[in-house]
Amino acid sequence: MNDTPEHILKKQFELYNSLSSEEKIKHLFDLTILSRKIITNRIKEEFPDISEPELKIELFKRFYRTDFDTETMGKIEYYLRNKNLQN
């Protein structure tokens, strides 16, 4: 969904393009941290009693669900679960 008027989008791009490389990277890190917090909160709402290791696994699955096929994701999830059992 994009309900932002074209002139506002243009202004946003102008502002972004005026940033230094360091500022752009800082904004990217800030957005990554924010998205992680939003997704973490959503998972906790769905699973109020989720353990910290399971939360990390669920967070990984949501961030990387399109990067791995089902079989590979299953293997990664299996590894993460077993790794957490050993710790």
- Residue 34 phi, psi (nearest 5): -60, -45
Token pair 């993460």: residue? 80
DSSP string, 20-39: -HHHHHHHHHHHHHHHHHHH
Q: Which H or E run contains 66?
A: none
DSSP secondary structure letter of residue 31: H
- Per-residue pLDDT tens digits for 50-86: 999 999 999 999 999 999 999 999 999 999 988 866 6
- Model's pTM, two decimal places? 0.71
Spatial neighbors of 64 by CB under 8 A, at least 6 apart, are 73
- Per-residue pLDDT tens digits for 31-45: 999 999 999 999 999
* pLDDT band at residue 87 under the 50/70/90 scheme: low
Q: What is the pLDDT of residue 48?
A: 96
